[in-house]
Chains A and B, each alone.
Chain A
Amino acid sequence: MSSTTFAPAVPNRPRTLVIGSALATSSVLMFFGCLFALYFARRADAMDWGMEWFPEGAIRLPPGGMNMATMALSAITMMWAVYSVSNNDRIHTYLAMVVTVAMGVAMLNQTVFYFNDIDLPIDHSEATTFLFVIVGAHMAMVLLGVLWLSLLLLRALGGQDTSRNRDLVSAAALYWYGAVAVYMVIWLGIYIAK
């Protein structure tokens, strides 16, 4: 009589890091969701009463458009990074992550320059308070993303980001896409609709 020994069942772990990142990103999106909801509600109310929202000419489209283009391109380079790390393509992974980080830094730089340039005081009106809170919080979100990606870049240089351990890159990418999505609403709601 023979006996058969079975190996212990392998736990089917879904992508832990990606799930964690999705939960955290959804929280961040709800934070911005509240800010946007309040912004649009107050703006609509002010418009109904015929009141000025932003001072005439204070918000210009080109800087916002440039930032939007930068963020949109960074979403593509982030996808490139995820694709490269999935295929163990280290050179392209380095390149894609460096370019994404550079675009994030460029976006931060453009925003700081623009807000210094327009010289709009934060306590000018309710609208400017909203403007600084929303844009400032988004800058913090992008800065966190830049730091995260920089850390991942160091890991990649150390050979730790491979197709087998790609979840950290995917998790960071999810967060980065969230940052791009938030900026899209800023671009549409603040720079275009004013």
Chain B
Amino acid sequence: MDTTRAADVVPTALEAVATTTDHLRIGRAWITSGVLFLAASLVAGFLVGLERMDLSGMAVFGDADSLFRFWSAYRVGVVLLAVVPIIVGLATAVVPLQVGAPSIVFPRAAALGFWVWVLGAAITIAGFLIGGGLGTPGATSRTDAVALTLLGLLMVIGGICCTTVCILTTIATGRTVGMTLSRVPLFSWSIFVAGSIWLVTLPVLAANVMLIYVDLAGRPAIAFGVEDTIWEQLSWAFSHPQIYAFALPLIGIAGDIVPVAARRRHGNHQALLVLVALIGVLSFGAYSQTAFDIGTPIREQAIFVVEAFLVVPLVLLVLVSFIDVLRRGVGSRKTRMPAPLYLSVLSVLFLLAGTVLGALRAVAPLDLLERSTTGAQFTFTVGAALLAAMAGTLWWGDLVVGRVAPQGFGLASALAVAVGLLFVAIPDTISGFMGLTDFTGGDLTGAGNPDSGIDVLNTVAMVGSAHLFVGVFGWLVTGALRFRGARSLGDTWGGHTLEWTTETVDVTSESPLLDTTVEVGA
């Protein structure tokens, strides 16, 4: 007779990850997978950068279609398979602790969201690799593989939305006694705002994808699935203003790090909450899709232009408020400033650069909408979110993993990423003003003129891509070293928000919040 009790059976690491409903484990799974997919996306970006050095030969991909496939894979991958999931992971792990909840609300749904996303991400990548992707100008891609990519994207969006619902519900209903929404830490608040925008815009992207999928699957496409229009229908989600919604949590990450590092409170916490909310509202980009271009194109209409300019002073105000905190606190700190602080400030500076480029893109006489400034703005804005995510993992990593990481190595990796971002974004900005199109594969004359200087800029951008990859690889190594590091002692930074005072607990219940209420009320 087997006398082993169920409680005595220790699950393997794989079983623990696959069956967990612990928000810290789920968060770690999101972050780890996101960083791995980021590395894969950056490989695609590097190959595109390599090809751009000499487009006349098509030495790497062989044809413009394959180049376009990897070019679009890079954009989609960096946003939906990497930066957003990493932020979702950070939020899954940190937000419940920040608001004083015993766990994330609906932990099984949060885990389901992760598994749906990770499966969708794998399908998306498979679709890209077997000749699918998001359709190519030359229409040589395989229709069934394009449909597979779209199916993967639907799952990716579904997974992100599912976990986002859990995070937002935790913030809305799981806050501890006395923590009103106006007292919520900035990271949780920024996730609350950004997540709300994701929940109303990502389904719009899903609807676009669904229309394309249905039109494409199993028959010759007649409208939405026509191959050279697929990216056009989806591109609104990867450019201004929607891209700000994905980067918005960086303000929260920086906003939680700066005052602790400077040992000074924010001048006006409520004002920062309002600023984040305003930027969130302005980042709603579902209206700006080209499908609505009946008459005057949406991106030439007043709402698009005004919105592009309004967001700049708001981000500037955020930056000024952070600088004010640093200025007041710089004299009181006896030790070195922590590594995440530098990255936080850098990320806000990058976001500001992204918003300025966004405003310039909206100026019709400059004619930058279809130029490589679009790519530069993408790099600045998503890069800002990436830097903040790196800062966040260095800041909260001790809490999330329970072990310390070499901060210096982490900082060096992040600075390598920052340099890479600059090397990619600045040449793209300049070449955009010189007339280089955003996707250069279809316009060889604009990309390959050796006398224009654009080829030199493309070379610099390729070096930047390599730098980016090295930096992200360093981030992966930092994460691996953390798992082997010494045990964390708890409050690493002397933080003032709840997560640094809360004991993490093993959650054994499926509905911990409801159970807590019943127990306390009983």
Q: Are A23 and B165 in contact (CB under 8 A)?
A: yes
Contact residue among B106, B176, B220, B294 (Cβ-Cβ distance under 8 Å from A20): B106
| Stretch from B9-17, B205-213, B434-442 that touches the partner | B205-213
B residues near A137, Cβ cutoff 8 Å: 210
Q: Which residues of B contact A98 (CB under 8 A)?
A: none
Secondary structure of the A contact surface, majority rule:
helix
Set B169, B172, B214: member contacting A129, Cβ < 8 A: B214
Interface residues of A in 2-26 (CB under 8 A from B): 8-16, 19-20, 23-24, 26
Residues of A within 8 A of B203 (CB): 27-28, 30-31, 34
A132 at the interface (CB under 8 A from B): yes
Which B residues touch A33, using CB under 8 A?
A: 204
Q: Which residue of B lies closest to A132 (CB)?
A: B214
Q: Cα distance A116–B225 when bound, in Å?
A: 24
* Residue A45 CB within 8 A of the other chain: yes
The B296-344 residues at the A interface (CB cut-off 8 A) are none
* A window 91-139: CB within 8 A of B: 122-123, 125-126, 129-130, 132-133, 136-137
Task: Tell yes or no: B286 within 8 A of A by CB.
Answer: yes
Contacts of B74 in A (CB 8 A): none
Residue A38, interface by CB 8 Å: yes
A37 within 8 A of partner (CB) = yes
The proximity string for A residues 127-157 relative to B, scoring 1 for CB distances below 8 Å and 0 otherwise, is: 0011011001100000000000000000000
Main secondary structure of the interface of B (DSSP, over half): helix
Judge whether B415 is part of the interface by a CB distance below 8 angstroms: no
Q: A31 to B357, alpha carbons, bound, how many Å? A: 30
Which of A19, A32, A126 meets B223, CB within 8 Å? Answer: A126
How far is the CB of B87 from the nearest CB of chain A, in Å?
18
Other-chain residue from A9, A11, A26, A38 in contact with B516 (beta carbon distance below 8 A):
A11
Q: Verify B174–A20 contact, CB threshold 8 A.
A: no
Tell me how far the C-beta of B76 lies from the nearest C-beta in chain A, rounded to whole angstroms: 18
**In the complex, A49→B174 CA distance in Å?**
54
Bound-state CA distance A130–B224 (Å) is 10
Q: Which B residues touch A45, using CB under 8 A? A: 294
Question: B291 at interface (Cβ–Cβ under 8 A)?
Answer: yes
Chain B residues, CB < 8 A from A13: 173-174, 513-514, 517
* Alpha-carbon separation in the docked complex, A158 to B405 (Å): 50
Given contacts A20-B106, A20-B165, contact A10 B521 (CB under 8 A): yes
In the complex, what distance in Å separates the CA atom of A32 from the CA atom of B208? Answer: 10
- Say whether B169 contacts A38, CB under 8 Å: no
Please state if B520 and A34 are interface contacts (CB–CB under 8 Å): no
B173 and A14 form a contact (CB under 8 A): yes
Look across to chain B and name the residue whose beta carbon is closest to the beta carbon of A44.
B294
When C-beta atoms are compared, the residue in chain B nearest to A123 turns out to be: B219
Q: Point out the residues of chain A lying under 8 angstroms from B220, CB to CB.
A: 123
Residues in B191-225 with C-beta less than 8 Å from chain A: 199-204, 206-208, 210-211, 214-215, 219-220, 222-224
When the two chains form the complex, which single residue of B106, B208, B222 contacts A34, counting CB atoms closer than 8 Å?
A: B208
Q: How far is the CA of A33 from the CA of B199 in the complex (A)?
A: 13
CA A10 – CA B519 in complex, angstroms? 10
Taken together as a complex, chains A and B put the C-alpha atoms of A132 and B202 apart, in Å, by 21
Pairwise interchain contact A129-B211, C-beta atoms closer than 8 A: yes
Is A73 interfacial (CB-CB < 8 Å)?
Answer: no
- B224 (CB) vs chain A CBs: closest residue: A129
A49 to chain B minimum Cβ distance, whole angstroms, is 11
Q: Do residues B199 and A38 form an inter-chain contact, with CB atoms below 8 A?
A: no
Query: A16 to B291, Cβ gap below 8 A?
Result: no
Question: Can you offer 30 A-B residue contacts whose CB atoms are under 8 A?
Answer: A10-B517, A10-B521, A11-B520, A13-B174, A16-B174, A19-B169, A19-B172, A19-B173, A20-B105, A20-B166, A24-B161, A24-B165, A27-B165, A28-B203, A30-B203, A31-B204, A34-B203, A34-B207, A35-B211, A37-B292, A38-B207, A38-B292, A41-B292, A44-B294, A122-B214, A123-B219, A129-B215, A129-B223, A136-B214, A137-B210
10 shortest interchain CB distances as A-B pairs: A34-B207, A31-B203, A34-B204, A126-B223, A20-B169, A30-B203, A9-B177, A16-B173, A30-B200, A27-B203
Q: A27-B199, A38-B292 are in contact. List 4 more A-B contacts (CB 8 A).
A: A10-B517, A11-B520, A26-B199, A42-B291
List the interface of chain A (C-beta within 8 A of B).
Answer: 8-16, 19-20, 23-24, 26-28, 30-35, 37-38, 41-42, 44-45, 122-123, 125-126, 129-130, 132-133, 136-137
